[in-house]
């Protein structure tokens, strides 16, 4: 966590000095949205578009939610397509179609993971509207989900889902740079759905209509052999030390899950979407005789050089059935 992030979460008094810059940021965001976002459905757009995003910096659980919703839609007979910014990826050209044979360093970790977990067509482009057009031109889909993109106002959307981290919520409630918010909390009044990931640390009126989401750890999966060990069964030998490696927007949620296990925990945090190399692990002096544990999103970047002690945590997303049912009904009515 950076110095500024710590100040936000501790509600440091000196942040008031950044209040004028925060108000300017908020005003510019409103102007950008007013001038870029169209509420008129494009004539050539014949499928519903759902954006899953957040209003704060850092990871909130958008990608696990998108994967689960894609799977639920497929169970209901839908043919979802997915678009993404492709964070962390460097493709030679865009739009880029992503599948199991793609280079994760071109597609980005999230898009690569989504394609593998859902089997849905996935297209990435910094211009999400271009990704949308490419997806519709090349694939047979009847609903589109956008991974992130709430503030990508040029992208037309029919429904918006905001995901909120139940532990961090909105920190000090200020917009950048005085706080972590990309948009004012008033934006929550305009979206169709709010999903809180984990238990809320305090009551906030804007979350009164929110649905709940829980990430439950199920297995630890070996990157080399594919062996699966139940998370709840203390999967390693007593006396082992877990070496938790992450490149996440909010690694503390991942570390908190591992702290449930009866082992000593050592953490190694990298910048969000960091492209791992074997040298990263060698330079940190990570013990090859002790388990290295990471998220599945990070694991997709480490398969080529993984060793026998590399594991990823497989989680299950639990959603309220009423939320899923209501969303599917709204999609059918678009």
Burial of 293 (0-12, 13-18, 19+ CB in 10 A): buried
pLDDT greater than 80 at residue 182? yes
**What local confidence, expressed as pLDDT, does residue 3 receive?**
80
The class level of CATH for 216-316 reads alpha beta
Contact indicator for 113, 63 with CB cutoff of 8 Å: yes
Within this chain, domains 3-213+319-333 and 216-316 share the same CATH topology: yes
Q: How far apart are CA 41 and CA 19, in angstroms?
A: 37
pLDDT-above-90 percentage for the chain: 74
Q: How many residues does the chain have?
A: 334
The torsion region of residue 88 among left (phi > 0), alpha (psi -120 to 50) and beta comes to: left
- Give the tens place of pLDDT for each residue, 265-299: 999 999 888 999 999 988 888 888 999 999 999 99
Domain boundaries, the chain: 3-213+319-333, 216-316
- Give the tens place of pLDDT for each residue, 1-32: 678 888 888 888 899 999 999 999 999 999 99
The class level of CATH for 3-213+319-333 reads alpha beta
Mean pLDDT of all residues belonging to the chain:
92
pLDDT (average), residues 210-219: 94
E runs forming strands in the chain? 49-53, 80-84, 96-98, 122-124, 143-147, 159-165, 193-197, 211-222, 228-230, 241-246, 264-269, 292-295, 310-319
Q: How far apart are the first and last CA of the chain?
A: 41
Query: Does residue 216 have a cis peptide bond before it, meaning omega lies within 30 degrees of 0?
Result: no
């Amino acid at each position: 966590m950076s110095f500024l992030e710590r100040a936000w979460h501790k509600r440091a008094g000196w942040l008031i000095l950044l209040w004028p810059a925060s108000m300017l940021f908020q005003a510019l965001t409103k102007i950008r949205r007013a001038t870029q976002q169209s509420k008129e459905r494009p004539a050539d757009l014949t499928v519903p578009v759902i954006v899953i995003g957040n209003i704060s910096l850092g990871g909130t659980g958008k990608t696990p939610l998108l994967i689960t919703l894609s799977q639920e839609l497929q169970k209901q007979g839908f043919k979802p397509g997915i678009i993404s910014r492709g964070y962390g990826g460097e493709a030679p050209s865009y739009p880029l179609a992503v599948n199991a044979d793609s280079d994760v360093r071109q597609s980005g970790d999230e898009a690569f993971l989504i394609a593998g977990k859902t089997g849905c067509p996935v297209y990435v482009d910094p211009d999400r509207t271009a990704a949308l057009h490419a997806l519709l031109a090349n694939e047979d889909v009847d609903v589109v989900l956008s991974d992130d993109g709430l503030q990508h106002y040029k992208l037309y959307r029919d429904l918006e889902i905001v995901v909120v981290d139940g532990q961090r919520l909105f920190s000090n409630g200020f917009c950048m740079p005085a706080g972590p918010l990309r948009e004012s909390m008033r934006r929550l009044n305009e979206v169709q759905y709010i999903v809180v990931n984990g238990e809320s640390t305090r009551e906030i009126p804007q979350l009164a209509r929110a649905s709940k989401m829980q990430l439950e750890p199920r297995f630890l999966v070996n990157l080399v052999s594919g062996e699966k060990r139940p998370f709840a069964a203390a999967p390693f030998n007593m006396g082992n030390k877990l070496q938790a490696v992450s490149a996440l927007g909010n690694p503390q949620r991942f570390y908190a899950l591992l702290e449930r296990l009866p082992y000593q925990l050592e953490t190694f945090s990298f910048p969000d979407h960091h492209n791992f190399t074997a040298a990263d692990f060698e330079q940190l002096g990570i013990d090859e005789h002790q388990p290295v544990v990471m998220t599945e999103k990070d694991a997709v970047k480490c398969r080529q050089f993984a060793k026998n002690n590399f594991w990823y945590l497989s989680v299950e997303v639990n959603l309220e059935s009423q939320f899923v049912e209501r969303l599917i009904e709204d999609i059918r009515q678009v």
